[in-house]
Amino acid sequence: MKNIKYSHMNHWKNIPYKKIDNFREFYYEDKTNTAYYTDWDRILRYQKALGFDGIELAPWDFPELLPLFGSAKAFSEFAAERGIVVSGMFHLIDKSHDSSHYQQTIDEGKRAVDLLVEFGGVHLNSAPGNNYFGNGPLNRDQIKAAAKVITEIGRYATDQGVEIGIHNEFFLAINKENHKEYIELTDPRYVHYCMDTAQVALLGEDILEFYDTYHERINNFHLKDTATPKLPDDIRHSQDIEIVDDGTRWFWEPGEGVLDFEGLYKLLKKHNFKGWISLETDQTPDLLASMALSRYYIDQKLNPIYK
């Protein structure tokens, strides 16, 4: 694909080694597949083998990753040796609706931009605030405050060669009732949009209408499916709904849910989208299987539409 580059959003978590040199000996310690998922060398090679040229990182990676490699730059160099670049990073804009927290939130956002620059990435995909539960519903002043914060971080990011993208999620205080209002209150010169297909659908948006309307703002994607779009308010507003422990899966591999990805790719072609699309295999019980199944669907069903 000439215009589209594919990345993988990291959900491997807790990878304790850079590279296992004594792989056979390591395997014989417990004779399971654990050895295959314990070092970054193999994880990155799986991604490259399946056609993903980038990796998107998140704050939950850094407590283990940064001490292991010593710096963001060192990790990027290690990944580059395996044909992988850091495409971007996920960031939560904490307490964006709370004006009393303004400067701390801005400073945290600037530090995230600086770290991403060290990784060599270009997309800071930013959740616009905290959970709806305990914070919503937001009033007009709180929505304006949240928009002001991301715009200010976006201004700083732009100066550093980074694009900040709104990454909304179905359980956040910026929710169905204020989603578009929030977008319109941000400055399009500094604030873009990372469209997470499943999250936007769960929120209640039609993904084709949403992309067609906001395609000029949308600069990258998180690609994942869902079987339960347009969730009712009582679910979206409830406590810890994304991490329910009853086995519920909000997210599925592309093609395993009900979203119209073929229609979306027709619109990507219509609007000549260029940039990163990150596969996000969130909630899967088998990351490698999900990565492979998703890649098959992308190559067989979606990429031919865009050609």
**Sign of the four-CA dihedral 133, 283, 154, 216:** negative
Residue 140, Cβ density class (10 Å: 0-12 exposed, 13-18 middle, ≥19 buried): exposed
pLDDT value of residue 246? 83
CA end-to-end span of the chain: 7
Q: Judge whether residue 241 has pLDDT over 70.
A: yes
pLDDT value of residue 196? 98
Per the CB < 8 A criterion, the answer to whether 30 and 63 are in contact is no
For residue 187, what are the contacts with CB-CB under 8 A and spacing of at least 6?
Answer: 151, 154, 155
Q: For the segment 143-188, what is each residue's pLDDT rounded down to a tens digit? A: 999 999 999 999 999 999 999 999 999 999 999 999 999 999 999 9
Using left for φ > 0, alpha for ψ between -120 and 50, and beta otherwise, residue 271 falls in: alpha
Q: Decide the pairing of beta strands 123-127 and 54-57.
A: unpaired
pLDDT class of 245 with cuts at 50, 70, 90: confident
- Mean per-residue pLDDT for 59-81? 97
Q: For the segment 262-305, what is each residue's pLDDT rounded down to a tens digit? A: 999 999 999 999 999 999 999 999 999 999 999 999 999 999 99
Q: C-alpha distances in angstroms, 226 versus 13, 39, 199, 261?
A: 22, 30, 8, 11
Q: For the segment 12-50, what is each residue's pLDDT rounded down to a tens digit? A: 988 999 999 999 999 999 999 999 999 999 999 999 999
The DSSP result for 21-77, as a single string, is SSHHHHHTTT-SGGGGGSBHHHHHHHHHHTT--EEEE-GGGHHHHHHHHSSHHHHHH
pLDDT value of residue 307? 86
- How far, rounded to the nearest angstrom, does the alpha carbon of residue 16 sit from its chain's CA centroid? 23
Q: Hey, what are 137's tokens?
A: 């519903």
DSSP 138: P
Structural domains in the chain, sorted by start: 4-306 (3.20.20.150)
**Sign of the four-CA dihedral 15, 20, 23, 27:** negative
* Burial state string for 149-179 with b = 16 or more CB within 10 A and e = fewer than 16: bbbbbbebbbeeebbbbbbbbbbbbbbbebb
Residue 113, Cβ density class (10 Å: 0-12 exposed, 13-18 middle, ≥19 buried): buried
DSSP 17: B
Q: Hey, what are 252's tokens?
A: 């599925």
pLDDT value of residue 116? 98
Per the CB < 8 A criterion, the answer to whether 18 and 43 are in contact is no
pLDDT value of residue 1? 65
Q: Apex CA 76: angle with CA 38 and CA 34, to 5°?
A: 5
pTM tops 0.75, yes or no:
yes
Q: For the segment 75-110, what is each residue's pLDDT rounded down to a tens digit? A: 999 999 999 999 999 999 999 999 999 999 999 999
For residue 259, what are the contacts with CB-CB under 8 A and spacing of at least 6?
Answer: 197, 198, 201, 207, 225, 226, 229
- Mean per-residue pLDDT for 121-136? 97
Half-sphere exposure of 130 (CA within 13 A, CB side): 15
- Mean per-residue pLDDT for 193-200? 98
Instruction: Please state, in angstroms and rounded to a whole number, the distance separating the CA atoms of residues 126 and 197.
Output: 15
Hey, is 152 helix, strand or coil?
helix
